[in-house]
Amino acid sequence: MQSSIPKPGRAIATTEPHFAEPTPSTDLRSFTDRKPDSQYYKMVNARLLQPIPAPRDPANVTLTLADVWGSAGTPKVAAMKQAKKLVFHCVGDTGPSPGAESSLASVSSVADKMVADFKEADPSDAPLFFYHLGDVVYSFGEAQYYYDEFFEPFREYNAPIIAIPGNHDGVTYTGDPSQSLNAFLQNFCSSTFAKTADSGSLRRTSMIQPGVYFTFDATLVRILGLYSNVLEDPGVISSEGSKSSPVSDVQLAFLQDQLAQIKKTGFAGAILVAVHHPPFSGPGVHGPSPRMLQDLDSAFSKTGCYPHAILSGHAHNYQRFTRTAKNGSQTPYIVAGCGGHSISQLKPLKGGGAIRTPLKVNDTLTFDKYFAEYGYLRIVVTPALLRIEYHQAAAGVDTKSAADTVTVDLKTRKLTTALP
Angle between helices 250-265 and 290-303 (to 10 degrees): 40
Residue 10 CA to its chain's centroid (Å): 27
Strand partners, 378: 89, 389
pLDDT at position 372 over 70: yes
Question: What is the number of helices (H) and of strands (E) in the chain?
Answer: 8, 17
Nearest to 404 by CA among 386, 383, 378, 382: 378
Q: How far apart are CA 185 and CA 101, in angstroms?
A: 27
Asked if residues 66 and 86 have their Cβ atoms less than 8 Å apart, the reply is no
Buried b / exposed e over 335-346, threshold 16 CB at 10 Å, is bbbbbbbbbbeb
Please, where are the H alpha helices in 84-199? 101-116, 146, 167-170, 182-188
Nearest to 222 by CA among 157, 270, 179: 270
pLDDT, tens digit, 9 for 90 and up, residues 75-87 = 999 999 999 999 9
Name the phi and psi angles at 185, rounded to 5.
-60, -40
- Which stretch of 2-6, 42-46, 270-274 has the lowest confidence by average pLDDT? 2-6
* Contacts of range 75-84, beta carbons closer than 8 Å, 24 or more positions apart: 76/128, 77/219, 79/123, 79/124, 80/124, 80/128, 80/219, 80/220, 81/219, 83/124, 84/220, 84/382, 84/383
pLDDT of amino acid 9 = 53
Three-state secondary-structure class, residue 223: strand
Nearest to 12 by CA among 196, 198, 208, 206: 196
Q: How far apart are CA 270 and CA 276, in angstroms?
A: 19
pLDDT of amino acid 10 = 67
Could you give the strand order of the β-sheet that contains 161-163, starting from the edge strand earlier in sequence? 161-163, 130-132, 86-91, 375-381, 385-392, 404-409
Strand partners, 370: 319
Mean pLDDT of 348-371: 93
Burial grade of 226 (CB within 10 A; 0-12, 13-18, 19 or more): buried
**325 to 37, 48, 223, 300: CA distances (angstroms):** 44, 35, 21, 12
First to last CA, the chain: 40
* Domains defined along the chain, listed by start: 12-409 (3.60.21.10)
Q: Which DSSP state fits 189?
A: B
pLDDT of amino acid 34 = 62
388: confidence class by pLDDT, cuts 50, 70, 90:
very high
Q: How far apart are CA 281 and CA 318, in angstroms?
A: 10
pTM (2 decimals)? 0.95
**348 to 284, 296, 338, 351, 353: CA distances (angstroms):** 9, 29, 19, 8, 5
The letter for the amino acid at 408 is V
Nearest to 131 by CA among 194, 43, 252, 216: 216
Name the phi and psi angles at 251, rounded to 5.
-70, -30
Asked if residues 403 and 395 have their Cβ atoms less than 8 Å apart, the reply is yes
pLDDT of amino acid 96 = 86
pLDDT at position 8 over 70: no
Name the phi and psi angles at 121, rounded to 5.
-65, -40
pLDDT at position 111 over 90: yes
The letter for the amino acid at 380 is V
pLDDT at position 172 over 70: yes
Three-state secondary-structure class, residue 408: strand
pLDDT of amino acid 329 = 97
- Which stretch of 2-11, 211-220, 285-294, 400-409 has the lowest confidence by average pLDDT? 2-11
E strands, 249-403, in order:
270-275, 309-312, 318-324, 330-336, 359-360, 365-371, 375-381, 385-392
- Which stretch of 329-338, 344-353, 411-420 has the lowest confidence by average pLDDT? 344-353
**340 to 104, 194, 398: CA distances (angstroms):** 8, 26, 19
Name the phi and psi angles at 335, rounded to 5.
-105, 120
